[in-house]
Structure 1
Amino acid sequence: MAGVIGTFSDGGAFAATLKSVKPAAAPALLKVARDLYPHDRLPDAYYETAVTTIDAGVAADQATKTLLSDGVTALDAAAVRLKGRPYTKIAPEADRIAVLKSIEDTPFFTKMRSEMITALYNQPEVWTKLGYEGSSAELGGYIHRGFNDLDWLPA
């Protein structure tokens, strides 16, 4: 079902869920999220959920309310300066990564990189997609549940 959701994900509906940015910035945030933590087999829906989570946190804090909007503006400026077009219009992933590296000292980049870790990987549906079997603490730990079994880890 999650694959179907990702396949039919509506960018307009995703943009409408964001509180701190204009809808036009949503595609750039999604692209940044995918470039920071690339998993080709994960549909956009999981990245949209992560970006929405980050956006909600930023929107709730008056001091950082414009962080994402201002960050996308600066990102596009860096992309135009380095590659001659806005970030979302740059096709080669390596070129987008170069643009991201050029802004890695900014609060926008720092926020996206640090918050995406939990916003993306705290989704149990993502665990399943990546082959992680989940927590074992409530089952007595991993020691008696295949401690050396790493078949969930992609080769």
Structure 2
Amino acid sequence: MSSLHPSPAVVLQQVGGAGLDPVMAIMDEAFDQRFGEAWTRAQCAGILPMHGVVLTLATNNSVPLGFSLVRSVADESELLLLAVRPHGRRRGVATALVNRFIADARGAGAHYLHLEVRDGNPATALYERTGFRIVGRRSNYYRGTDGETFDALTMARTF
């Protein structure tokens, strides 16, 4: 049986600095400036050469839809950034990226995974579904364009 709108699988590929153009385009669309969560190109480019940092691009039909940026040190792994273009949401892109983060961390011997997310960000539900729990709060962590501040939730899971 065929579908009028086939949904090919999300393809995940590790990219280096050459992947920054689509990453920045995704970040511009995915992060609302009023919350102050997005990173600059210089921040992204600066962390990529560091040991243990991996940038993964998610595509569908060769169209970049999302990405994750992860840093692993010793037995810990941190999800630094995760973003999905608005038109790519609710299609399994973020779930695929989080599941890859978890699988890669486990495969590398990490025992503690963590991330920060803005309090009120709908992504919190995804993180909870994938085994993360709220373990802390950073008051006034994000500063939006109008100066308003927002708390960050620290989430973690262990193996």
Larger Rg: 1
- Fold equivalence (TM over 0.5): no
| Greater strand proportion | 2
TM-score relative to the length of structure 1: 0.36
| Greater helix proportion | 1
